[in-house]
A and B are shown apart, each in its own frame.
Chain A
């Protein structure tokens, strides 16, 4: 075993928006081991949910993560509504789907931008974020807020999409399409990006199965899963769309999957608007009196993969146990396969390719300290040694 060098990324690092601590143990240029330390963002949401009523929980789970602020309520709604077996009105289903897909658009754009930023390709960053703005404005028009929408409630949605708003939505999609072509072109046809991203951070289908990774990460490795199709909820079985997959499993494939998914989202929203036009004047909320005792399991496909909510009710007005599994929780560990063996320069983009969302992961997760027996002991000793040395130097120089 050669000498190992520790390259810390975080907890407060210019690359990361969120507090996160990656330790890369390197031998020369090659990453040998990655240790993830977390817990900075743990807000004990699952416990808070147990003290809220079923209705209030929507607004808590919305704040698990700002980017997936529809996916969590979506999965939670699926879970809670399955306990009494609520029939959600069709109009509400369409509205839910529209919100969910708009969110996918803004989230994937955000990722494309950030990925470009990580690579130093800031043009893409600025473009993607600029074209994300109209989507947020649309949210503000429909729901009243740019990010946390508070649209969902048990049995339906809280606000209707008004008829005047259909043309606005359609206009948004019309205008967005050419811009998406532009961004897709900028990423897919750029020889530099091809050279930079192909073959980097590869995950095989086995890795995906081992870790239980989901979403675009899995689909980029040829694992054809998507909750929207496999366990349909809301209006996804009433519209026509297809699941995008790629085979390569590298960072480029992940970008490709995400970009092509946006086209599907556009088509889904268009079909939902048509559906809304047909369902004119329909109910948007079913009446739900109480939640009987029982267990509810709900899933939803967030932009980052499957969100899983488990709700246990004892017949009172708040859940007795509420478990949340965000997609990042099973996607982040894959860096152990994707980064190790690559170079330091590739690590950042391999990590980013997962589109990790630490807020989601840490609603529960705590300090994570990975070690494989002896090897890391040495590395740890190395750090201690280096810390000791630094201390020695400090005292020496400060005194001297």
Chain B
């Protein structure tokens, strides 16, 4: 896969959804997309192009809750990252599990650690830490840490 061609193509395919693309450093591409476009873009990347799903990273950053979906193109070694920012007030996003089967566990993990809700998750149970873990405590949220 030629990366310039790929960037052109994906921009052409999703002109409104893709906010920005950025080559972070060698072989790492970051694509900033809007929250609504996630399913469509992933479907294209995962199903049509056949990239391999790696993992999802979620973090509490200055912009809000950032979720990064990592995909790998094994023929060239590029990692394609989809970056979505969620507002702090209402952290909700469409679940990827119907498209990418493997994301089920990680989405629950993220719910547990950051309190992000995944809509349409096939099994949206709370990811229990232990029986006695306090409700509503998310260890990776920064504002809770300060309190």
The reply to whether B59 and A297 contact each other, CB–CB distance below 8 Å, is no
Minimum CB–CB distance from B114 to chain A (whole Å) comes to 11
Do the beta carbons of B109 and A366 come within 8 Å of each other?
Answer: yes
Q: Name the residue of chain A whose CB is nearest to the CB of B60.
A: A321
Taking a contact as CB atoms under 8 Å apart, the answer to whether A225 and B70 are in contact is no
Measured CB to CB, the closest approach of chain A to B103, in angstroms, equals 9
Contact B50 A209 (CB under 8 A): yes
Asked if A231 contacts B77 (CB within 8 A), the reply is yes
B-chain residues with CB within 8 Å of residue A82 when the two chains form the complex: 25-26, 28
User: Which residues of A are found within 8 Å of B24, using beta-carbon distances?
Assistant: 294-295, 297
**Interface stretch (choices A4-12, A39-47, A154-162):** A39-47
Whether the pair B52, A225 counts as a contact (CB closer than 8 A) is yes
For chain A, residues 36 to 79, give those with C-beta under 8 angstroms from any C-beta of chain B.
Answer: 39, 42, 44, 47
Q: Any chain A CB within 8 A of the CB of B27? A: yes
Number of B residues near A (Cβ < 8 Å) is 42
Q: Does any Cβ of B come within 8 Å of A263's Cβ?
A: no
Min distance, Cβ A180 to any Cβ of chain B, angstroms: 28
- Contact with B70, one of A227, A294, A308, A329 (Cβ below 8 angstroms): A308
For residues 361 through 385 of chain A, which have their beta carbon under 8 Å from a beta carbon of chain B?
A: 364-372
Indicate which residue in A42, A294, A325 contacts B54 across the interface (CB closer than 8 Å): A325
With A310-B70, A369-B123 in contact, is A325–B55 under 8 Å at CB? yes
Which B residues are in CB contact (< 8 Å) with A365?
Answer: 105, 109
Interface membership of chain A positions 292-308, coded 1 if the CB is closer than 8 angstroms to chain B and 0 otherwise: 00111101000000101
B139 in the interface (beta carbon within 8 A): yes
- Whether A212 contacts B77 by the Cβ 8 Å rule is no
The answer to whether B59 and A321 have CB atoms under 8 Å apart is yes
Contact with A along B63-93 (1 / 0, CB 8 A): 0000010101011110101000000000000
Contact of B74 with A225 in the complex, beta carbons under 8 Å: yes
Point out the residues of chain A lying under 8 angstroms from B129, CB to CB.
39, 42, 366-367
* Residues B77 and A366 in contact, CB atoms below 8 Å apart: no
A23 within 8 A of B: no
Total of A-B residue pairs, C-beta within 8 Å? 104
Residues on A with beta carbons closer than 8 Å to the beta carbon of B25: 82-83, 85, 294, 296
Does B123 lie within 8 Å of A310, measured CB to CB?
no
Contact status A371-B123, CB under 8 Å = yes
Q: How far is the CA of A213 from the CA of B77 in the complex (A)?
A: 16
Question: Cβ of A297 and Cβ of B70 under 8 Å apart?
Answer: yes
Set of chain B residues within 8 Å of A227, measured between Cβ atoms: 77
Instruction: State the Cβ distance, B26 to closest chain A Cβ, in Å.
Output: 7
Task: List chain A residues, Cβ under 8 A from B77.
Answer: 227, 230-232
A299 vs B52: C-alpha distance when bound (angstroms): 14
Residues of chain A within 8 A of B123, CB atoms compared: 369-371
Chain A residues whose CB sits within 8 angstroms of the CB of B101 once the complex forms: 210-211, 333
Complex Cα distance A39/B129, Å?
Answer: 7
Identify which of A47, A83, A232, A366 gathers the most chain B CB atoms within 10 Å of its CB. A366
New contact pairs (16) apart from A230-B76, A295-B30, CB-CB < 8 Å? A82-B28, A83-B25, A212-B54, A213-B102, A227-B77, A230-B74, A297-B28, A297-B79, A306-B54, A308-B70, A320-B61, A323-B57, A325-B54, A330-B54, A333-B102, A369-B123
Q: Name B residues whose Cβ lies closer than 8 Å to a Cβ of A.
A: 24-28, 30, 50, 52-55, 57, 59, 61, 68, 70, 72, 74-77, 79, 81, 100-102, 104-106, 108-109, 112-113, 122-123, 125, 127-130, 139-140
Can you offer 26 A-B residue contacts whose CB atoms are under 8 A? Answer: A42-B129, A47-B140, A209-B52, A210-B101, A212-B52, A212-B54, A227-B77, A230-B77, A231-B27, A231-B79, A294-B24, A299-B79, A306-B72, A308-B54, A308-B70, A310-B57, A320-B59, A320-B61, A321-B57, A321-B61, A323-B55, A325-B55, A329-B105, A333-B101, A366-B128, A370-B123
Going nearest first, the 9 A-B pairs with the smallest beta carbon separation are A231-B77, A325-B55, A212-B53, A321-B59, A323-B57, A210-B101, A366-B127, A211-B102, A212-B102
